[in-house]
Structure 1
């Protein structure tokens, strides 16, 4: 996924990040007040790095565009409308990824039952269907080292991630990057569906039909072309527009 995306305004990034928090909650992919979705803002007037994060202690369904906290690359608070600060330890992985991957606007980390289950098996995601084929040969892996509080682990995560946009954190969960918040969410929801479908298919006790490498690679390239068309500014994103309309209908306060 090359760089070269059309830049968004700060207000658009705030809206989209708040929307991602709410959508993750609606999909049942949140984990209480834990895990995070972060977004890179344009650099400040003096070149300072700025990122948005959820206020500490709020559920994902309580996050709004207005209460998102602005932090620097260390997690130090720059602006905190809600007044609760952030989980600085939770931002350590995000900050390392953001600082290493300037092509990523958004970093999205989840602990879902299906995602943790698939991250806990050696084979990881299998190309069993259209959802999972898009990730064929495009997933990085990082071995579990305990709760991610060790700052030295950040370097290993970044090294393991390389230039990929999806990572299985072994025995832990998933990490997804996006050139926009919208792309990160779509990758995350398709990865979650892939994990759920794999758990369901293998749980039937029948023989799974694994796609050939050629078909899986062809499908992955088809998805790649579609993502590129939207992220490089040549095509609108009707899926993200539809997701925002869903929030307008069921959780319009995400903008507040």
Structure 2
């Protein structure tokens, strides 16, 4: 018995070397179904929650689901879902097969506000294409589906992963450079310390992490800011700690990334904070 209503494409049938996408669908959990029982698939699955909240059980671990939560699972992983509150969550579900799928690890992460905005843009375009006669949906739609999946794979660390979690760890030199990169100051200092031209260093960092040097530091800043706010550190002190000492600028930056003011984030119950 179906426990959700499909709002977009059900069958994608997109194939490129090493990757095939079978299903790309927006699902709205039906109001009369509060939970989805544990189940497994013979394929990989990406679940991106776009609205509301819930609890996802993944391979025995409980995961708090919020808008922007992304879960990537290789074949055979048991998972289940229970919504929080009365509103039905909206979820993007992508079923796909990828080379060496069973060597990959479960990934749970949160998309930034800009990443989530990019995916919403792709979905809006797909919905408009469905109303357009001709081959536009098949041609441009396939590109949008792949762009969306690639963004999810890159964010979760799956892009370029070939043989288990160790395959996505940065090399020792790049790992050491990123670990020592200060939150404050100019990125030029990190580039100079590396001994590489900036463009080349960005290619190395992107190859290891899926992000440019600036994007990597922005993500580390956001992780640190959330951690400090969760523990009740004052907004001004958090701004200094992540290298953005202008409290007003920090507040605007944090809101762009999360959709919330720092003060509002710090007041949230810890169980609701991704």
Shorter-chain TM-score: which interval? under 0.3
Normalised by the length of structure 2, the TM-score is: 0.24
- Higher-strand-fraction structure: 2
Normalised by the length of structure 1, the TM-score is: 0.25
Larger Rg: 2
